[in-house]
């Protein structure tokens, strides 16, 4: 499963989708990641101040990983997002 996310809100939305596919509520994901439920809620709603370590813990709990790649600029929408 590969998805593109370029904003904190897009990352949060993807995390929420995967969490729900696991059948977990935010508290269950928080327990598995060693975090508070409120922290998971902030991440899922796109709060941009989440620490990288915290985000990586959530991804690991969901059996996901962060992949860095060159940005694609294949459509005007991709370029508009930068503005």
Please report the pLDDT score of residue 83 as a whole number.
Answer: 42
- Confidence band for 82, pLDDT divided at 50, 70 and 90: very low
> How far, in Å, CA of 77 to CA of 11, rounded?
18
Neighbours of 19 (CB within 10 A): 20
Helices (H) and strands (E) in the chain, counts: 5, 0
pLDDT tens by residue, 19-75: 999 999 999 999 999 999 999 999 999 998 899 999 999 999 999 999 988 887 766
> How far, in Å, CA of 47 to CA of 53, rounded?
15
pTM of this structure: 0.82
> How far, in Å, CA of 4 to CA of 14, rounded?
9
> How far, in Å, CA of 68 to CA of 4, rounded?
11
């Amino acid at each position: 499963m590969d998805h593109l996310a370029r904003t904190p809100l897009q990352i949060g939305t993807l995390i929420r989708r995967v969490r729900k596919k696991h059948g977990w509520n935010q508290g269950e994901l928080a327990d598995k990641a060693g975090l508070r439920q409120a922290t998971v809620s902030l991440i899922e709603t796109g709060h941009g101040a989440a620490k990288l370590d915290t985000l990586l813990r959530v991804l690991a709990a969901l059996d996901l990983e962060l992949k860095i790649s060159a940005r694609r600029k294949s459509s005007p929408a991709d370029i508009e997002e930068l503005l």
